[in-house]
Amino acid sequence: MGFEEMWAALLPVGRDPVTGGYHRFAWTPPELECRAWFLSEARRRDLDVEHDANGNMFAWWLPDGGSRDAFPAEGAVVTGSHLDSVPGGGAFDGPLGVVSAFAAVDRLRERGARPRRPIGIAVFAEEEGARFGVACLGSRLLTGAIDPARARALTDGDGHTFAEVLHNAGLDPGAIGPDEDLLGRIGCFVELHVEQGRALREPVGVASSIIPHGRWRFDFGGEGDHAGTTRLADRRDPMLPFAGMVIAAREAAERNGTVATVGKVRVVPGGVNAIASSVTAWLDARGPDDAAVRRTVKEVDEAARVAARPHRVSVDLAEESYTEIVDFNAALRDRIAGTLGGPPVLPTGAGHDAGVLAARVPAAMLFVRNPTGVSHSPAEFAEPADCLAGVEALTAVLDDLACG
């Protein structure tokens, strides 16, 4: 199966026929179908499949005579990405890295390459955090960046805990957490990903860094009541400070040179003719440095409290996840840039499993040009020729790192 056939096989999975957006949330039927696709592609190539305790999957191409229990000291070269999506996401964010990884392995084999280090293709679980709220949950658990007890208790929109969902998927929720054996076998991680802004003007680039980013939850508590009979003076309407908080996020971002987004809100009970009893809104804030991001969140929090006071609405703020600046491994990045003949090197505002892995193993990223610059949307795009340039670049990188 070439790149195009693999791409075509995944394309309909979880796609909304009306909007064209993808809904592949971790361990829901479309994402399970993507996982089954991954397993069948791995088996087709005779790769050794490993499921870790955290819901991540690995397909290993072991050197001749090699075994999973006896990796060379320098460890494996691992590539791959994720198969889950945001609500209404694009086709490329995640799957491009996984499909390209299989295609690169095929090219190496066609060329008769004999890896001296294992090559692994990874699929990380719940990268988008679209179901349980914490982005890169699988790689955070693997690397110890989240407390397993906290992860077990995370709930999805229907009230199912992460522990329940793992159990139903045949995994032991008690076993999640850092996996030093697996981390010790990963010599380096190179994730190929579609570029998600307008910064890349050539087919393939290399990442320098990921800007600090995080997610915060604001809970506004008011009093549900009738929309027709409740006098304005008697209302405790949480929608009003919520509206103030959305505007405050934009203004704080402008003041601090950051970006701040309120893209998700839950209104309870959600009736046209009922004053809401509570509103939960999620703030995504990112910026050039920790201080600017922290200041942005603080200013939004203060504005929300000021807006809430006259309406006698309570405000609670909780940090759901935070990732400090990630500077990718300079030696690995330079080596990859050398292999690729000096591609553009660029930072990104998007989070990735490679950024989480970077805390424990040398990590790097290849970006494939996105002509629209749009992502987390059905309009996300990469030209077929650029995708093939990405495969060629990944092939060269794996060849250099694992076979050279």
Minimum CB distance to ligand GLV, residue 354 (Å):
11
Distance CA 126, CA 169 (A): 14
For the bound state, the minimum distance from the C-beta of residue 110 to Mn ion, rounded and expressed in Å, comes to 28
- Tokens 């020729």 correspond to 385
Nearer to ligand GLV, 303 or 326 (CB): 326
Q: Is 273 annotated as a binding residue?
A: yes
Of 20-28, 93-101, 233-241, 305-313, the window that binds Mn ion (rule: CB under 5 A) is 93-101
Neighbours of 389 (CB within 10 A): 20
Greatest alpha-carbon span in the chain: 79
Q: How far is the CB of 314 from ligand GLV (least distance, A)?
A: 29
How far apart (Å, rounded) are the C-alpha atoms in residues 306 and 376? 32
**Given candidates 203, 344, 351, 362, which one binds ligand GLV under the rule CB under 6 A?**
351
Q: Is 114 assigned to a binding site?
A: no
Among 21, 94, 214, 221, the residue binding Mn ion under the rule CB under 5 A is: 94
Q: Is the dihedral of CA 170, 174, 175, 178 positive or negative?
A: positive
Q: How many residues bind Mn ion (CB under 5 A)?
A: 2
**CA 234 from centroid of its chain's CA atoms:** 44
Three-class secondary structure of residue 41 per DSSP: helix
- Taking contact as CB under 5 A, which single stretch among the options 71-79, 86-94, 290-298, 339-347 is the one that binds Mn ion? 86-94
Torsion of CA 122, 330, 203, 110, to 10 degrees: -50
What residues pair up with 206 in beta bridges, in sequence order?
A: 345, 366
Count the neighbouring beta carbons within 10 Å of the beta carbon of residue 14.
Answer: 22
31, 41, 52, 93: which one binds Mn ion (CB under 5 A): 93
Question: Would you say 48 and 60 are in contact if contact means Cβ atoms under 8 Å apart?
Answer: yes
Q: Of the listed pieces 92-100, 169-177, 260-268, 395-403, which binds Mn ion according to CB under 5 A?
A: 92-100
Q: Given candidates 350, 366, 382, 398, which one binds ligand GLV under the rule CB under 6 A?
A: 350
**Residue 193 counted as an annotated binding residue:** yes
**Residues in 114-153 that interact with ligand GLV by CB under 6 A:** 128, 135
Residue 97 interacts, among ligand GLV, Mn ion, none and using kind-specific CB cut-offs from 5 to 8 Å, with none
3-state percent helix, strand, coil for the chain, nearest multiple of 5: 35, 25, 40
State both tokens at 98: 């996984």
Binding interface with ligand GLV (CB under 6 A): 128, 135, 350-351
Binding interface with Mn ion (CB under 5 A): 93-94
Instruction: Enumerate the known binding-site residues for Zn(2+).
Output: 82, 93, 128, 193, 376
Instruction: Enumerate the known binding-site residues.
Output: 82, 93, 128, 193, 215, 273, 286, 376
Instruction: Enumerate the known binding-site residues for allantoate.
Output: 215, 273, 286
